[in-house]
């Protein structure tokens, strides 16, 4: 088992009978959860980026402050951020979108990527695909219905 001791989470893999599982533990809460390979790669790359940054900072004799370290005012840097992003929410959202994408047909997935993720206009998408706008609209309605069904199933 390999862990990263200097950061806010631990990452490790397990291998039982050839089945590899990826795990993450939030240090502050002790919460352990299984993650997919894509999330593991993302967190590992962020980990490496932070390590490089810390090494460069230590070489330049610059002190690196922790976001939760209290300053002279008693507040931490995290307290002063107006729009702090919760990495747990970000990872959860990414995992949910990945699960939804797995339920889409290839045509619906193409629509989702172009229109929802890249912000392409419906008319541009229809022209690019050589289909009527009403057909593209129908694809979008089916995608929305799958999202709705997914979230209704998640609430149960």
Tens digit of each residue's pLDDT (9 = 90 or more) over 87-109: 777 778 888 888 888 889 999 99
* Average pLDDT of span 59-80: 63
Q: What is the mean pLDDT of residues 74-85?
A: 61
Q: Is the dihedral of CA 22, 28, 88, 92 positive or negative?
A: positive
Domain residue limits, the chain: 1-62, 85-156
Which residues, in sequence order, are bridge partners of residue 125?
Answer: none
For 127, the token pair is 């022209």
Do residues 83 and 40 make contact, with C-beta atoms less than 8 angstroms apart? Answer: no
Q: Is the pLDDT of residue 53 over 50?
A: yes
Q: How do residues 119-156 score in pLDDT, each as one tens digit?
A: 899 899 999 999 999 999 999 999 999 888 887 876 55
Q: What's the CATH code, domain 85-156?
A: 1.10.10.10
Yes or no: say if 108 and 129 are a contact pair by the CB < 8 Å rule: no
Contacts of 117 (CB under 8 A, 6+ apart): none
Tell me, what's the pLDDT at 63? 58
Q: Which of 108, 96, 119, 117 is nearest to 143 (CA)?
A: 108
């Amino acid at each position: 088992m390999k862990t990263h001791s200097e950061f806010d989470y631990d990452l490790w893999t397990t291998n039982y009978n050839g089945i590899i599982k990826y795990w993450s533990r939030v240090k502050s809460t002790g919460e352990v959860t299984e993650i997919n390979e894509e999330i593991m790669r993302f967190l590992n790359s962020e980990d490496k980026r932070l390590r490089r940054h810390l090494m460069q900072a230590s070489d330049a004799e610059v002190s690196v402050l922790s976001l939760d370290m209290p300053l002279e005012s008693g507040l931490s840097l995290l307290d002063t951020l107006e729009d702090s992003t919760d990495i747990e929410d970000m990872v959860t959202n990414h995992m949910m979108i990945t699960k939804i994408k797995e339920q889409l047909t290839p045509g619906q997935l193409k629509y989702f990527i172009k229109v929802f993720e890249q912000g392409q206009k419906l008319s541009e998408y229809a022209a690019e695909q050589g289909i009527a706008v009403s057909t593209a609209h129908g694809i979008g309605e089916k995608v929305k219905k799958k999202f709705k069904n997914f979230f209704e199933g998640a609430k149960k």
